[in-house]
Structure 1
Amino acid sequence: MQVSTEEQSSWTRRFIEPVDSELRLVCFPHAGGSAAYFRPLAQSLAPRVEALCVQYPGRQDRRHEPLLDSVPALADAAFAALRPTLDGPFAFFGHSLGALVAFEVARRFEQLTAQGPVRLFASARRAPSVARDERVHLRDDAGLIAELTRLGGTADALLTDDDLRALVLPAVRADYRAAETYTAVPANARLTCPISVFVGDADPVALVPEARAWEAHTTGSTDLRVFTGGHFYLDGNTAAVARAVLDTL
């Protein structure tokens, strides 16, 4: 897939001035999320690590672009955009849906290029091999909002303002469809890079045993860190997560 310079730049956002960092960390957001979710983490990682935060199509400044509602489609497009720009050592950090997208993009780098990520950070997501029968994407708008409210992490204004809901919910639904219909192909899909798994101790959709199962998806090492909090544990633990990333890298 050929992509233009504009398409490459549309996929990533920087929230600090470019610096001579040792490594780049590409951050993939959760369902309904945007690159801006990682602004606090990017600021905490600087200057040792430069965060490139992924912006999926169909939201915020990309809201006029078609939504992608499958993990393979997101991964194919992200890989095509990132491949020309990652010319030095890099790692991936994916939160929730983003962990699946990051995993698939990492697979594409390892299979199709001479350089893959030095590490994958899989956050707030059970392993690809752990299946649940979830159908949130099939709910009506009220059901979708109920799920977002249950998990937290979404500003109240986005859920209570009719105009904002109309902008946000299509992307949320497409992302949930991507996550809930995803199956790792092949079933024993593995990376060669190590995987660090981060999870909240009260996350209802990524239980610790389910998160630990990421060890089946790499031929390298795995480690698991449990933080205080729910699905969006990162919100209250940005400094601790940044320290864990920096110490690991």
Structure 2
Amino acid sequence: MIYNNQSQGQFSEMPVSDVTEPDRQPQNRGQSAPAGSKSAPAGSKWLKVFAPNPDASLRLICLPHAGGGASAYATWAKLLPVHTELVALQLPGREDRLAEPMIDSMPALVNILLPYLLQLSDKPYVLFGHSMGAVLAYEICQMMLRTGQRLPEHLIVSGREAPRLSRADNLHLVPDQELTEAMIKLEPQSQAVFDHPELAAISLPVIRNDYRLINGYRYHPDSQRLNLPLTAISGDDDPELLPGDMSAWQEVTEGHFSWHRFSGGHFYLKPHREGVVRIIADVMNTVLQKQDNHVA
């Protein structure tokens, strides 16, 4: 949700840089440039770098949940290994892009994002997505496969059923009061946001748009299996998940699969931030070790 304990348009006290506006005609890059030579380039509103790290060997690219913004990941950067630079996706219609038209189609969003993400593939990278972001990360991988681009070294998905099991609801169609009640049930701490009329007026359209996007998502049975390691993470009491939802993610890849569970609901990441980032840090360390072994 857009309520991530930071007000609209604010990220953190950490320095923020952006990536450049790309040529909208993506090209196959083939092999990437040597790692460790530069930070994510500056210039775009789509991807935020909260702690620029030109010496980083790897990138972690974080994709948001429904209603969420890049600032949800602002505090993660300082918890990651020094060899990792965190880049967070910023969708239009929220935070510093509040006045921009939102996107409510998964295929359209993936197509728009692809050239921006290709800029970041000059270094090995890992994709992380929570809830809606998990599906977005998966579909980005599918697009990378279809267009012959460099895949992430690892995919980390959180709090969302596997694509084959995707379920739609009608929350994007219900009245504001019903949508508000559903969001409070999903995240009780959001009560304070919805009790504030101005914040509610900002948050509800974004939430409604993103639910329209995710409810319009359709899994393609002919999707290719990935060939990369995949890590799933979830909360034990997530009301959005059914038994088997997370374990089914192992079906989408030929690579190693692992599943980590924390106590809590759909937004278990908030109280377990350090534990979640520790899992991600272990992934990044493993990726770096493989890269070093490959060079050796």
Give the TM-score of the pair, scaled to structure 2: 0.78
Aligned residue number for residue 34 of structure 2? none
From 237, 249, 254, the equivalent of 1:219 is 254
> Which protein has the bigger helix share?
1
Quick check: which has more Rg, 1 or 2? Answer: 2
Aligned residue number for residue 210 of structure 1? 245
CA drift at 1:244: 0.9
For structure 2, the residue ranges without an aligned partner over 5 or more in a row are 1-21, 26-40, 285-296
- Point out 4+ residue stretches in structure 1 off by more than 6 angstroms: none
Aligned residue number for residue 28 of structure 2? none
Aligned residue number for residue 98 of structure 2? 63
8 Å CA contact 1:75–1:104 kept in 2: the answer is: yes
From 179, 184, 206, the equivalent of 1:144 is 179
CA drift at 1:62: 0.9
Task: Verify: 1:131 aligned to 2:166, yes or no.
Answer: yes
Give the TM-score of the pair, scaled to structure 1: 0.91
- 85 and 8 in structure 1: CA distance in 2 versus 1, 3 angstrom threshold: farther
- 80 and 157 in structure 1: CA distance in 2 versus 1, 3 angstrom threshold: farther
CA distance in 1, matches of 2:151, 2:230: 13
From 216, 225, 228, the equivalent of 1:181 is 216
CA RMSD in angstroms, aligned pairs only: 2.2
CA distance in 2, matches of 1:205, 1:101: 17
Identity of aligned residues (%): 35
Aligned residue number for residue 50 of structure 1? 85
CA drift at 1:189: 4.1
CA distance in 2, matches of 1:107, 1:45: 27
Aligned residue number for residue 37 of structure 1? 72
Aligned residue number for residue 130 of structure 2? 95
- 139 and 154 in structure 1: CA distance in 2 versus 1, 3 angstrom threshold: farther
SS of the equivalent of 2:261 reads: strand
CA drift at 1:88: 0.8
For structure 1, the residue ranges without an aligned partner over 5 or more in a row are none
- 247 and 153 in structure 1: CA distance in 2 versus 1, 3 angstrom threshold: farther
Aligned residue number for residue 59 of structure 2? 24
CA distance in 1, matches of 2:179, 2:72: 20
- 112 and 188 in structure 1: CA distance in 2 versus 1, 3 angstrom threshold: closer
Task: Verify: 1:191 aligned to 2:214, yes or no.
Answer: no
Aligned residue number for residue 161 of structure 1? 196
